[in-house]
Structure 1
Amino acid sequence: MQSSDFPIEDIRAKFPALNFKNKEQVFPIYFDGPGGTQMVQGCIDRMLEYIETGMANLHGTFSTSIKTDALLAEAKEAVGDLLNCPAEEVAFGQNMTSLAFQVSHSLKPLLKEADEIVVTQLDHRANVDPWLHLAKETGATVKFIPVDKQKLILDLSHPDSLITQKTKLVAIGLSSNLTGTVTNAKKIFEAANKVNAITIADAVHAVPHFLVDKQDLGCDILFCSAYKFFGPHLGIVGIKKAIFEALKIPKLQPAPNEIPYKLETGTQNHEAIAGLCGAIDFIEGLGTGDTRRQRLKAGMEAIETHEQELMHSLEQFLESIPEVKLYRASSEIKKTPTFAFRIDGIHSREATKFFAEKFNLYIGDGHFYAATMAEVFPVMETGGWIRIGFAPYNTLEEIEIFKKALQELLQRKT
């Protein structure tokens, strides 16, 4: 049974996809949260409202244009409260990856040959390759913080050799989209700030699971994606004002050159930005408090408590199955409810196909763009990892169905 403190049935009712039968005329079980959550009704409502009541571009004198200006201001205030950063530092784009490459290109004048860039082996490549590209363009040297293969955390045993006076940029993921490991990014950023390096956080997999505080982290640039927390496909970045203003961003001659609009080249996806407001409203509605930030904090704490309950249930089960190799940090390491594992003698794609066709469990397989990890742990010959990731609409009852499915799969193998 679920914890009585978490209104799981009310929450599930807010996600239309959970109540929509697939072609087999059954309700799917979505265990693919790290790849993108389902969209909350409030997000859909805000998108439709914007579309149905008239759309327009910015800065006009007529009502729909004025409405669109107000929408962008509203969304940036909401994101500012979600991430704890000023609204003027928030910009939107196609997705996190595109924004990262755009920022990378714009940082080029700030780096030179012999400078050093630090990235990690644990990260999604969206927080690696834009900075590798920057190194190639500037002649900078790249250092990878290695992953400890036994502990499934970053190996910080030699910090002085990683971050030096030559370090100009440090990019860290707050939480692994593969193992769920939550990295102590604040500690790494503190070392980077001492040498005045630009600090970059990939919060794509963090924002859906725990409260992120950009100011407390001490990072200059933070990325996240709305579709990972119940919203539309939309990239989000928060950039410290001084750095944002210094960025040399390619633009059309008459386009604005002030922040944050200088990064938002061309017409934005206004209907998606409206949906983002609805997604943040959903989180806020789960909490209480005098300010939106307080309500968002309480809402995220409620989500985290529920997901931790789910996490412990699945973790104990997977650890009890001899045929399962679970890639997961130890209990004292904070983790999101994200599980990467392999099954002895069974190709990962074969397993996820079985789960989908026989039990309507929607589970991913592959490297999930944590491609460096797939090299550190050579896994692709058997299809990479199987990954299960939870969202607040998942239940203990769904986990019981997965347990039955895995046991049946193992019986078929024998």
Structure 2
Amino acid sequence: MSDFNPHTIRPAFPALATQVQGRPAVFFDAPGGTQVPQMVIDAISGYLTHSNANTHGAFLTSQRSDAVIAAAHQAMADLLGCSPAEIIFGANMTTLTFALSRALARNWGPGDQIVVTKLDHDANVAPWRALTERGVTICEVEIDPTDCTLDMADFAAAIGPQTKLVAVGYASNAVGTINDVRRVVELAQQVGALTFVDAVHYAPHGPIDVRTLDCDFLACSVYKFFGPHVGCLYGKAEHLHHFQPYKVRPASDLPPECWMTGTQNHEGLAGVVAAVDYLATLAPTPQTDRRSALLAAMTRIAAYERGLAERLITGLLAVPGLTFYGIREPERFAWRTPTVSFRIDGHTPQAIAAALGEQGIFVWDGNYYALSLSERLGVEQLGGMVRVGLAHYSTAEEVDRLLEALHGL
């Protein structure tokens, strides 16, 4: 049982005081972007007040900007378990992935293959599909629609000597499934293929160690784990030196700078540092360093959210006419995040989301850019699904309020 108490940290999030019709708003929209603590807001405004300048100048505010950027690289390195020189920042995960796909594929063409999955967000599909213009072929791995898990036998069969890269999500942003990423990496390594992991949805829900995963690239978005709109990409140092990014001529030829196109979002990077520092404060006991604190904090978050997800899913399965998508057995909850999707007979997902929104309960409807999954489940033409996404600031009382509202439909 988790010792985490969300009520102790909720005052740190100003947005959670929002009210709708005299009642506190329920933010179950976390998979689309989490709320941010005051310390992140303060860091962003503090940068703009005291450090706002471009980089590498011979004056104080520019030097402060350089320090903020260096601190952001170190913070994300601590979160992911790598070197600061292996961290790349950009506008968002999608933009970074499109840029990386073009750089990796400079010499790819007919006869080369990329493996993607039907479970992924399209940001980990479309950038690779775009390479079909160069003659690259795409193989899409199937899922088991009964629980929305990857068909690992199909995965193994898809990877072969012609495979250049395997793109897989750490966790599904639509139905919460956590994939066996380490096994996928092993399959790719057997044929010498690269691995790209989309950890956008997983990052707020559990610890990440890129060294243990041994993946070649891993992407995430800071606004999904309590920070500002900044994208982050980890790449093994050997790859960042070997592959050639597209860049402007005067820019540095050395990684990670050569991979970060144009002027970065400096105030956003100040928020990155604060977001990582916030997560570190959630460690249950004092730790010797930030990396250790982050591992302890994310493990603690995962345990709390697992219990909350069990309460949510048990309640949803008791709603008349509800079709549930994804893992539902409590003994398998280590393989899911607290993100669930469903449909209810007689109600469109949009109508359900609107009805809940009027009551101050914020959920998503549609396909959430997990287009291949929505099509595979046969719901794309029906308006997709309703998605409820919990975070560590979510409470049991809020879950019960949602369930009561759904029964009221």
Higher mean C-alpha displacement, 204-213 vs 238-247: 238-247
Q: How does 1:364-383 map to 2 (within 5 A)?
A: 364-383=364-383
| TM-score normalised to structure 1 length | 0.95
Task: Determine which of 16, 19, 29 is the counterpart of 2:17.
Answer: 19
Shift of 1:160: 4.2
Matched, 1:239 2:241: no
Say which SS state the counterpart of residue 195 (structure 2) adopts: strand
- Give the fraction of aligned pairs with identical amino acids, expressed as a percent: 40
Contact 1:174 1:201 (C-alpha < 8 Å) held by counterparts: yes
The amino acid that maps onto 2:210 is K
Moved >4 Å (runs of 4+): none
Say which SS state the counterpart of residue 387 (structure 1) adopts: strand
Q: Partner of 1:408 in structure 2?
A: 408
The amino acid that maps onto 2:307 is E
Task: Determine which of 76, 79, 83 is the counterpart of 2:76.
Answer: 79
C-alpha change, 1:263 and 1:322, in structure 2 (3 Å) is: same
Matched, 1:184 2:180: yes
Q: Partner of 2:169 in structure 1?
A: 173
C-alpha change, 1:112 and 1:394, in structure 2 (3 Å) is: same
The amino acid that maps onto 1:305 is A
Q: Partner of 2:276 in structure 1?
A: 280
Contact 2:2 2:303 (C-alpha < 8 Å) held by counterparts: no
Q: Partner of 2:249 in structure 1?
A: 253
C-alpha change, 1:159 and 1:227, in structure 2 (3 Å) is: closer
Q: Partner of 1:337 in structure 2?
A: 338
Q: Partner of 2:45 in structure 1?
A: 48
Contact 1:108 1:137 (C-alpha < 8 Å) held by counterparts: no
| Structure 1 residues 156-190: Cα deviation after superposition (integer angstroms, max 9, x where no partner) | 12444211111110001010001100000110111
Matched, 1:164 2:160: yes
- State the number of aligned residues: 404
Shift of 1:54: 3.2
| Structure 1 residues 218-242: Cα deviation after superposition (integer angstroms, max 9, x where no partner) | 1111100000000001100011111
Say which SS state the counterpart of residue 381 (structure 2) adopts: helix
| TM-score normalised to structure 2 length | 0.96
Q: Distance in 2 between the 1:20 and 1:401 partners? A: 16
Shift of 1:137: 3.1
Contact 2:174 2:368 (C-alpha < 8 Å) held by counterparts: yes
Contact 1:93 1:235 (C-alpha < 8 Å) held by counterparts: yes
Q: How does 1:6-405 map to 2 (within 5 A)?
A: 6-22=4-20, 24-134=21-131, 136-287=132-283, 288-331=286-329, 332-333=331-332, 334-357=335-358, 359-405=359-405
Structure 2: gaps of 5 or more residues: none
Shift of 1:362: 0.4
Q: Distance in 2 between the 1:313 and 1:269 partners? A: 39
Q: Distance in 1 between the 2:209 and 2:51 partners? A: 35
Say which SS state the counterpart of residue 319 (structure 2) adopts: coil
Contact 2:56 2:62 (C-alpha < 8 Å) held by counterparts: yes
Structure 1: gaps of 5 or more residues: 410-414
Shift of 1:330: 4.5
Q: Distance in 1 between the 2:3 and 2:151 partners? A: 38
The amino acid that maps onto 1:8 is P
Q: Distance in 2 between the 1:154 and 1:285 partners? A: 34
Q: Distance in 2 between the 1:112 and 1:375 partners? A: 28
C-alpha change, 1:375 and 1:46, in structure 2 (3 Å) is: same
Say which SS state the counterpart of residue 394 (structure 1) adopts: coil
The amino acid that maps onto 1:307 is E
Shift of 1:62: 0.9
| Structure 1 residues 19-54: Cα deviation after superposition (integer angstroms, max 9, x where no partner) | 1335x4542110011010001111111111111113
Shift of 1:382: 3.0
The amino acid that maps onto 1:108 is A
Q: Distance in 2 between the 1:406 and 1:363 partners? A: 12
Q: Distance in 1 between the 2:246 and 2:269 partners? A: 23
Q: Distance in 1 between the 2:150 and 2:6 partners? A: 34
CA RMSD of aligned residues (A): 1.4
The amino acid that maps onto 2:269 is I
| Structure 1 residues 347-392: Cα deviation after superposition (integer angstroms, max 9, x where no partner) | 11111111111x2100110000000011111213332100000011
Say which SS state the counterpart of residue 157 (structure 1) adopts: helix
| Structure 1 residues 101-133: Cα deviation after superposition (integer angstroms, max 9, x where no partner) | 010111122422101110000000000110111
Q: Distance in 2 between the 1:96 and 1:74 partners? A: 20
C-alpha change, 1:387 and 1:262, in structure 2 (3 Å) is: same
The amino acid that maps onto 1:372 is S
Shift of 1:322: 3.3
Q: Partner of 1:412 in structure 2?
A: none
Say which SS state the counterpart of residue 250 (structure 2) adopts: coil
Say which SS state the counterpart of residue 274 (structure 2) adopts: helix
Q: Distance in 2 between the 1:91 and 1:347 partners? A: 40
Q: Distance in 2 between the 1:373 and 1:158 partners? A: 16
Say which SS state the counterpart of residue 89 (structure 2) adopts: strand
Say which SS state the counterpart of residue 219 (structure 1) adopts: coil
Contact 2:146 2:325 (C-alpha < 8 Å) held by counterparts: no
The amino acid that maps onto 1:339 is V
Q: Distance in 2 between the 1:53 and 1:70 partners? A: 13
Q: Distance in 1 between the 2:257 and 2:388 partners? A: 37
Shift of 1:243: 1.2
The amino acid that maps onto 1:98 is T
Higher mean C-alpha displacement, 337-346 vs 296-305: 296-305
Say which SS state the counterpart of residue 101 (structure 1) adopts: helix
Shift of 1:280: 0.5
Contact 1:42 1:281 (C-alpha < 8 Å) held by counterparts: no
